[in-house]
Structure 1
């Protein structure tokens, strides 16, 4: 059966999976079959034994996260001062802020524009340094708009 991890507690090493059938199943880390620990939002494939999920495998979503991470990093590097990476990640308000500050920054001798370009460069570095899973958890699932 397929489903999504709703929550996972690293201390108790247990969690809850919402199956595609609408039922919820308990997850124990002993049944987890992937190399990285489970995270809330992970898509999984698992077997059911009563109300317990067994043989839980993470579905391959890392290629999507990786491609989104690389595209966001490239946009931050080349068009970051215009907020292109923010628009790409779905942060419209923050993208508009960056775009307007960059454009109107030329009125104030370009200092605000340089600051926005520096922020975009810092975000480019942060995007590259984060692992694919951390990037997805922070910026795609967690919706963290700045840094």
Structure 2
């Protein structure tokens, strides 16, 4: 069946197609069969599977801008997390900041002993370095999008 892409969610890549039969069909990124991907307004050919579109191909000559999923940067900042890990890491403050309450409590309890202070100190130093070298998109995926 032929149709046209009506819209694509920038975050998930899910979208909707208007088929030549007048019905609307939904698709997921895995249903797209070409390397360019979905684009609003693109003329396409697809297989209808109930209300879903499968095996979607762009028709030659379609000039529409592809929709690129953009990472949603969260409210947490990797530099603030690194600073907290460096300054107060033995107490697990950076873990609480990032919503990792369980590991924050473990670090806090471990810091009550001398050996635990050494362990949490190394842990915090590794976290500091990891946050600083981690790409913004990966940090946002791990710590910014969804509460944990």
TM-score range, shorter chain: 0.5 to 0.7
Bigger relative contact order, structure 1 or 2 (CA pairs below 8 A, ≥6 apart)? 2
Please, what is the CA RMSD of the aligned residues? 3.6
Within the candidate set 31, 34, 55, 2:66 is matched to: 55
Larger Cα-atom Rg: 2
- TM-score normalised per structure 2: 0.58
Q: Report matched runs for 1:1-147 at 5 Å.
A: 1=7, 3=9, 4-5=11-12, 17-19=13-15, 23-25=26-28, 26-27=31-32, 28-31=34-37, 47=40, 49=42, 51=53, 55-59=66-70, 61=72, 64=73, 68-102=77-111, 104-105=112-113, 110-140=114-144
Structure 2 gap segments, 5+ residues each? 1-6, 17-24, 45-52, 59-64
* 1:142–1:119 Cα change, 3 Å: farther
- The structure where helix makes up a greater share of residues is 1
Q: Which runs of 4+ in 1 moved over 6 A?
A: none
The TM-score normalised by the length of structure 1 is: 0.58
Matched pairs, number? 113
